[in-house]
Structure 1
Amino acid sequence: MTTMSSDADPTTAAQGPTNNGHPPVDPAPRPRATAEEVAAAFEDTKLAQVLYHDWEAETYDEKWSISYDERCIDYAKGRFEAIAGDEPLPYGRALELGCGTGFFLLNLMQAGVAETGSVTDLSPGMVKVALRNAEHLGLTVDGRVADAEGIPYDDATFDLVVGHAVLHHIPDVEKALTEVLRVLKPGGRFLFAGEPTTVGNLYARKLGQATWYATTNITKLPMLRTWRRPQQELDESSRAAALEAVVDLHTFDPAELERIAASAGADDVRVRTEEFAAALLGWPIRTFEAAVPEEKLTVTWRLFAYHAWKKLSWLDETVLRHIVPRGYFYNAMITGVKPSR
């Protein structure tokens, strides 16, 4: 691990040993994996992570209806407030682990949660898109291609570490959380959202598989062929889905996730779950959207999907949270702090 003086440039200093005075260059994205690479990835989970997420990087925001406007700013800040509570804001410097396209951190920064940021991901393609998104938004963000089990920043660098739908991709979650605590300043907070619960993942996958099967078969009918994506795109989605089964390594029982974080050394660990009714509708909608041509997804459709999700989320929070065990909700969020001592 490279050490860094307090006045060093963090982007350069985090890059490790140099070659003839030049920092190493991050590997280039691989937007299309060959059949041979996919076959090899089934025996190498980290290769699978890179191939799958490089594959998805340029279309990921579209696939998951990710934006950097009021809708997703409110969503990101809402997740933060739901589990962190009423925190003094802003944090100074924040890190997003497994950043993807930067969805969580960039929207939190726009919401005033953090002033500056850093993004890391095992996928070069995702880091590239996250930095491009940050530039378009005028946000101060640097980035590195990095393994969550060995974060390339010095001890006590960050005030806040966040992530969205990342812990379930990491082989050794406790080791990654130990690294998170290392790079946090004493008293600094981590917060991860969008992690699948064990029960929630079971019904979400079944709903997604049934929706994909129904949509791709019904759109073979002559009167519905304009609703069918080209077969090459469907085949590529199927290959990506095959890799998805390799990159999704964990589901979480809320109590066990709390135990893992406490074992890593965190204080004030809390896990909260959300989305039960919202997930029962959300997963079929997301799968349907991935199976039909983009031009069929009109503004009317997207407004319907968004407002339906909001209404069912309200039902989850105001009614079902008091009836349904927390392990049955789809999404888990976890937060904790680095001990001050």
Structure 2
Amino acid sequence: MTASPNNGVDPAPNPHATAEEVEAALKDTKLAQVLYHDWEAETYDEKWSISYDERCIDYARGRFDAVVGTDQALPYERALELGCGTGFFLLNLMQGGVAKTGSVTDLSPGMVKVALRNAEGLGLPVDGRVADAERIPYDDDTFDLVVGHAVLHHIPDVEQSLREVIRVLKPGGRFVFAGEPTTVGDFYARWLSRATWYATTNITKLGPLRGWRRPQAELDESSRAAALEAVVDIHTFDPADLEKMARSAGAVQVHAASEEFTAAMLGWPVRTFEAAVPEGKLGWNWGKFAFGGWKALSWVDENVMKRFVPKGFFYNAMITGVKPEPKEA
């Protein structure tokens, strides 16, 4: 089977979903994906502290190396990012020397728009399409590398998407997906986030702390977005199950890894607190604490916790595999 890019005009972003659209999206996960991510696109980099400098270049390259290893022949000639969001993973990997040229795809027009804008600002050779990950609109044997970050858990049929990834890869080409929630990790991350949101939004009702409270309209909008978030986050994974799925899709040299245990227990409350207080309220010292704390606990996880904590208890799962070379006749 082959697929070619559609030469039609991609749909425009819809950053202001109506109540009726949100209600319909609660019953239609793909509509929810579009509405939620269009909603978030213009503020997504700020919300998740995404940048395209040394900090995030090192982070993206670190995720790649953690699951693939450091003995790869780089750079790959042409890479595709599936579910690109604002382009965080691919653009930083390209800056980190992993790939020369790239293509970005996402179901959300808003995200593709921002990813292409980010690529242009960085001077990177990247094109993009609005596309469903279960039907990737490129021909067979097109890419040397396919990557994604925090995307597989949004896709209804993950194995079908992996089959498509194998199809568009050249023989010997590799895929790398990172940032996928484990089942155990998602459980404790959600409870920590809910507790932090509840505590922050209620404590800031008190007189002396009202200056730390976001306007109610913004809090209400965040709650509406959170309702959609519960619909767009479809899956959690066990690393071993991810490996089985990748092999079933046709991949070889499959390997899964995981990371962030204590780091996730800090990271999720920190991110939730940042989303609950007014923009600009937290200064440089807070950012230094948040990043420094995450980095220190990541070291603890890698050098201490991995010795005795099961792989499935870490928050983030990563998976890589290779498209097999054709067998000789």
Structure 1 and Structure 2 fold alike (TM over 0.5): yes
Residue 39 (str. 1) matches residue 23 (str. 2) = yes
Residue 109 (str. 1) matches residue 99 (str. 2) = no
- C-alpha distance in structure 2 between counterparts of 1:282 and 1:323, whole Å: 21
Residue 90 (str. 1) matches residue 80 (str. 2) = no
* Counterpart selection for 1:67 from 36, 44, 51: 51
Unpaired runs of at least 5, structure 1: 4-13, 17-22
Residue 182 (str. 1) matches residue 167 (str. 2) = yes
1:213-250 C-alpha deviation (Å, 9 max, x unpaired): 00000011110111111111100000000000000000
Q: Which residue pairs with 1:211 in the alignment?
A: 196
Q: The residue matched to 1:294 in structure 2 has which SS? A: coil
Aligned partners of 2:2 and 2:140 also within 8 Å: no
Question: Which runs of structure 2 are paired with 1:115-126 in the superposition (5 Å)?
Answer: 115-126=100-111
Q: Which residue pairs with 1:288 in the alignment?
A: 273
- C-alpha distance in structure 2 between counterparts of 1:175 and 1:294, whole Å: 40
Percent identical across equivalent pairs? 78
Q: Could you tell me how far 1:265 is from its partner in structure 2?
A: 0.3
- C-alpha distance in structure 1 between counterparts of 2:244 and 2:196, whole Å: 35
1:104-139 C-alpha deviation (Å, 9 max, x unpaired): 000000001000000000000000000000000000
Residue 253 (str. 1) matches residue 238 (str. 2) = yes
Q: Which residue pairs with 2:36 in the alignment?
A: 52
- C-alpha distance in structure 2 between counterparts of 1:316 and 1:77, whole Å: 18
- C-alpha distance in structure 1 between counterparts of 2:308 and 2:218, whole Å: 42
Residue 324 (str. 1) matches residue 309 (str. 2) = yes
Aligned partners of 2:258 and 2:318 also within 8 Å: yes
Q: The residue matched to 1:163 in structure 2 has which SS? A: strand
Q: Could you tell me how far 1:15 is from its partner in structure 2?
A: 3.0
Aligned partners of 1:2 and 1:15 also within 8 Å: no
- C-alpha distance in structure 1 between counterparts of 2:321 and 2:178, whole Å: 12
Q: Which residue pairs with 1:138 in the alignment?
A: 123
Residue 148 (str. 1) matches residue 133 (str. 2) = yes
Q: Which residue pairs with 1:8 in the alignment?
A: none
Unpaired runs of at least 5, structure 2: none
Q: Which residue pairs with 1:192 in the alignment?
A: 177
Aligned partners of 2:185 and 2:315 also within 8 Å: yes
> Partner letter of residue 81 of structure 1?
D
- How many residue pairs get aligned? The number is 325
Q: Could you tell me how far 1:325 is from its partner in structure 2?
A: 0.4
Q: Could you tell me how far 1:2 is from its partner in structure 2?
A: 6.9
More displaced 10-residue stretch of structure 1: 296-305 or 156-165: 296-305
Q: The residue matched to 1:295 in structure 2 has which SS? A: coil
Q: The residue matched to 1:93 in structure 2 has which SS? A: strand
1:156-176 C-alpha deviation (Å, 9 max, x unpaired): 000000000000000000000
4+ aligned runs moved over 2 Å, structure 1: none
- C-alpha distance in structure 2 between counterparts of 1:304 and 1:121, whole Å: 33
- C-alpha distance in structure 2 between counterparts of 1:2 and 1:323, whole Å: 46
Superposed CA RMSD in Å reads 0.9
Taking structure 1 as the reference length, the TM-score comes to: 0.94
Residue 202 (str. 1) matches residue 187 (str. 2) = yes
Question: Which runs of structure 2 are paired with 1:160-179 in the superposition (5 Å)?
Answer: 160-179=145-164
Q: Which residue pairs with 2:206 in the alignment?
A: 221
Residue 278 (str. 1) matches residue 263 (str. 2) = yes
1:24-77 C-alpha deviation (Å, 9 max, x unpaired): 110000001111000000111000000000000000000000000000000000
* Counterpart selection for 1:78 from 42, 48, 62: 62
Residue 297 (str. 1) matches residue 282 (str. 2) = yes
Q: The residue matched to 2:129 in structure 1 has which SS? A: strand
Taking structure 2 as the reference length, the TM-score comes to: 0.98
1:185-211 C-alpha deviation (Å, 9 max, x unpaired): 000000000000000000000000000
Residue 15 (str. 1) matches residue 8 (str. 2) = no
